[in-house]
A = this chain, B = another copy of it.
């Protein structure tokens, strides 16, 4: 597939500088693009690379347009524009509709859905139009999978969970396993608390490979519209994640945390349970959030690293920080005494 630059601008907007009849068929970085390729300059730091590009055309912001040695599509948000062109040039090819004969389907499935080999779908589950369920997925009873959602191979969805439209769920994700809830008996053993809530996921949500979202204990775990979760994220029971919040890989969220809308959470951050994070908050990678955040802003708790010997010397002091602070206070007192005398 190839498209003309003037077709792109007609559909997606932006200003064209150069020959609109040029055709592009792929997207590539400035360094690697060839004469069939559309490239983009999203990060101003790479502006110097424009000069040497061999791309047919480049998507650029207005401030860089004059530096572009080839045809340009000028738009205030080049990266967003690139995403839209890329979706056009690289459409996801849905497998043919139909139910593979090896699938064990106890639910009613519309003719437009594609159910792969070795899938199991339990009774009472409702599958939307155009849904794709790839090989070896297991969907329990009483679930709802919204129209055009796509479950990659090996996804497990427990009974009674609800997933909205246009979801993309990657392999190994587990939706609706029991939350971690136990009461402790006098002898130290644990008595399981049945997890009777569900997982309820809105529209346009993407869930990464091997990410786990537990069902609620008494109420539901809720993932609102447009949330994007990367791989290997753990979402505990009763968590609520607001619309359009995005989280990078390996994040852990303990039970009953309530996270606002449009937040971003960096990789391997940890959010403890029963706390609240406001809308539009950014959490840096590796940060452990141990109390609620009520103000918009960026919050960080990353630990610097050092060459090992340097680390040992400096970080061992952490165990004595309080004593160091006491010494400073004592010095201040003694010095003030001397100053009085002098």
A331 interface neighbour in B87, B190, B332, Cβ under 8 Å? B332
Cα-based distance from A86 to B195 in the complex (angstroms): 9
A152:B171 contact, CB within 8 angstroms: no
Q: Could you mark each residue 96-109 of chain A with 1 if its beta carbon is under 8 Å from any beta carbon of chain B, else 0?
A: 00001010100000
Cα-based distance from A199 to B46 in the complex (angstroms): 25
Stretch of A3-11, A48-56, A265-273 that contacts chain B:
A265-273
Chain B residues closer than 8 Å to A290, beta-carbon distance: 285-286, 302, 304-305
Of residues 296 through 337 on chain A, the ones whose CB sits less than 8 Å from some CB of chain B are 297-308, 310-322, 324-325, 327-328, 331-332, 334-335
Q: Check A44 for interface membership: any CB of B closer than 8 A.
A: no
Chain B residues closer than 8 Å to A189, beta-carbon distance: 204, 226, 244
**Nearest 3 A/B pairs, CB to CB:** A301-B305, A138-B153, A156-B171
Could you list 17 further interchain pairs (A-B, Cβ under 8 angstroms) beyond the known A190-B246, A335-B335?
Answer: A32-B218, A80-B191, A83-B182, A84-B191, A90-B196, A102-B118, A140-B153, A156-B171, A170-B174, A174-B231, A180-B249, A232-B234, A250-B252, A250-B270, A254-B267, A314-B321, A320-B325
Residue positions of A touching B, CB distance < 8 A:
27-29, 32, 77, 79-80, 82-84, 86-87, 89-90, 92, 100, 102, 104, 116-118, 120, 134-138, 140, 152-154, 156, 158, 168, 170-172, 174, 177-178, 180, 182-194, 196, 204, 206, 208-210, 212, 214, 218-219, 226, 228, 230-232, 234, 236, 244, 246, 248-250, 252, 254, 261-262, 267-268, 270, 272, 280, 283-290, 297-308, 310-322, 324-325, 327-328, 331-332, 334-335, 338-339, 341-342
